[in-house]
């Protein structure tokens, strides 16, 4: 949990309260109420600490020459710069495909003529409700980047083969990037 955050235990809307519930550090999300809890099959009460998340996107941008546009992104929590695909959090009411286009432009400066869904997956379902939506972006036209104030990003295009090799050798360690690149290589072309 984030230091100083308010913790609320609540049931997930649209699910059976006996099946799943979670703790949120965001008291206004999904109508949480203090005192909500989980019941297991034997009727025992449980509190599960899980971070509520609005969802996110990751974009696999393909240049006309076949290279993948990756970014070097400073990750403050790790105190490292990671090689990643562009990604970001959904804003309230924003569709995943619109978020993909926005994040691609903000982080890389590329505008896509075509964005298509690739897959969706949960990033860490034991502790986080985040659902990641992966997209492929094609027909890229270079515009202007617009990173957020706290972002330090550098564009780093690579061939798909080089990116896959960096996964093998430990040069790419970001889980969402690994999953998206490997899925694309195996199933998405």
CA-wise closest residue to 184 among 62, 20, 27: 62
Specify the length of the chain in residues: 189
List the structure tokens of 181. Answer: 């690149």
* Separation CA 68–CA 18 (nearest Å): 44
List the structure tokens of 126. Answer: 């034991």
For residue 62, give the DSSP letter: B
* Residue 84 bears catalytic tag: no
Catalytic residue among 84, 151, 154, 185: 151
**Sign (positive or negative) of CA dihedral 183, 82, 140, 96:** positive
* Separation CA 103–CA 21 (nearest Å): 30
Residues serving a catalytic function are: 151
């Amino acid at each position: 949990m984030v230091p100083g955050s308010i913790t609320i235990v609540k049931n997930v809307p649209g699910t059976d309260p006996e099946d799943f519930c979670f703790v949120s550090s965001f008291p206004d999300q999904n109508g949480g109420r203090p005192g909500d809890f989980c019941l297991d099959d034997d009727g025992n009460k449980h509190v599960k600490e899980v971070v509520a998340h609005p969802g996110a996107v990751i974009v696999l941008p393909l240049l006309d020459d076949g290279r993948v546009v990756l970014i070097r992104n400073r990750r403050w929590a790790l105190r490292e710069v990671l090689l990643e695909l562009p990604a970001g959090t959904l804003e309230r009411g924003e569709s995943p495909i619109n978020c993909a286009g926005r994040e691609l432009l903000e982080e890389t400066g590329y505008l896509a003529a075509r964005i298509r869904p690739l897959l969706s997956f949960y990033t860490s379902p034991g502790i986080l409700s985040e659902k990641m939506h992966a997209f492929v972006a094609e027909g890229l036209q270079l515009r202007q980047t617009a990173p957020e104030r706290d972002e330090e990003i550098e564009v780093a295009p690579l061939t798909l083969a080089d990116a896959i090799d960096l996964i093998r050798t430990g040069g790419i360690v970001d889980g969402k990037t690994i999953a998206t690149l490997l899925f694309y290589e195996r199933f998405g072309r």
